[in-house]
Amino acid sequence: MEITNVMEYEKIAKEKLPKMVYDYYASGAEDQWTLQENRNAFSRILFRPRILIDVSKIDVSTTVLGFNISMPIMIAPTAMQKMAHPDGELATARATSAAGTIMTLSSWATCSVEEVASTGPGIRFFQLYVYKDRNVVIQLVKRAEEAGFKAIALTVDTPRLGRRESDIKNRFALPRGLTLKNFEGLDLGKIDKTNDSGLASYVAGQVDQSLSWKDIKWLQSITSLPILVKGVITAEDARIAVEYGAAGIIVSNHGARQLDYVPATIVALEEVVKAVEGRIPVFLDGGVRRGTDVFKALALGASGVFVSSFIIYT
């Protein structure tokens, strides 16, 4: 099959991946209204093209937090990639580096920060949840720093995991032989570390539901890395993020996997951009499938977009 656009990978994935794995990657929360709206909202935005402009030389390179990248398209954190391919996040790291852009590694990855760093040079961010045991957070951040990661993408929209009904029906569990590699070797207290799925369930259950804005300041006290606040969709929260010293904002609804019936990110983008008034960069993820989607986000004020990596068996 000749692939002409990224949407066509969905059909291949559905054919090749186990149903439990495909559903985990593809599904959203509850009625999945926001999952569809993330895409539908892009289709409602139209261009007003101007003509007779010299476009013979185009340069799409840009800078993000001072780092030069080849294009305003970066890789968003995508968990447990070895469920889809044995190379998992290592393949994503190599591809992102070759493309000259930024990879964000999920803290729930099936390859560790050290393993990703071992693939060679590249600009990499580390996605972080804040856990009840702050010592776990400190250990994760320290390892990311030592592995050469350049920023922390703090996910703030997950006080509890969204209700994804496909996962419930499939009784989702991390396949045997895979584990959340970033948590290996950490002091996690009393847990059966020989049970891979048990580790995944434990880690998910340790996300701190009391997370608040003051924890941004605490995180800044333990790391010198810039902190992007990932999960902002309102002007009110955007202004607070600026006040608390965020280095940037990622307008995100967690790929519609957390809370259903929230606005599509492209709909929320403009009010967030207006609220920050250029003081920090604003990025977007969710629903991006074509170059025209990227252009629409840039036109509405985004400094760049993040897209999920989706690895297909070959």
Is residue 264 assigned to a domain? yes
What is the structure's pLDDT at 314?
A: 37
What is the structure's pLDDT at 187?
A: 72
CATH number at residue 180: 3.20.20.70
Q: For the chain, what's the residue count?
A: 314
Is residue 208 assigned to a domain? yes
pTM of the predicted model, to two decimals?
A: 0.93
| Number of domains into which the chain is organized | 1
Which of helix, strand or coil describes residue 229?
strand
- Residue 26, amino acid: A
Which of helix, strand or coil describes residue 257?
coil
For residue 254, indicate whether it is catalytic. Answer: yes
Is residue 1 assigned to a domain? no
Is residue 250 assigned to a domain? yes
Is residue 259 assigned to a domain? yes
pLDDT digits (tens, 9 = 90+) for 71-122: 999 999 999 999 999 999 999 999 999 999 999 999 999 999 999 999 999 9
What is the structure's pLDDT at 166?
A: 92
* Interacting residues of 267 by C-beta distance below 8 A, sequence separation 6+: 37, 41
Q: Number of helices (H) and strands (E), helices first, in the chain?
A: 12, 10
Cα of first residue to Cα of last residue in the chain, in angstroms, is 13
Helix (H) or strand (E) holding 40: helix 33-43
Is residue 294 assigned to a domain? yes
What is the structure's pLDDT at 91?
A: 96
What is the structure's pLDDT at 313?
A: 40
Q: Is 200 buried (19+), middle (13-18) or exposed (0-12) by CB count in 10 A?
A: buried
Q: Which of 254, 259, 266, 268 is catalytic?
A: 254
What is the structure's pLDDT at 191?
A: 46
| Helix 19-26 / helix 8-16 crossing angle, nearest 10 deg | 150
35-62 CB burial, b ≥16 within 10 A, e <16: bebbbebbeeeeeeeeeeeeeeeeeeeb
Name residues of the chain where pLDDT drops below 70. 1, 189-200, 202, 309-314
Is residue 52 assigned to a domain? no
Domain limits for position 228: 8-47+61-308
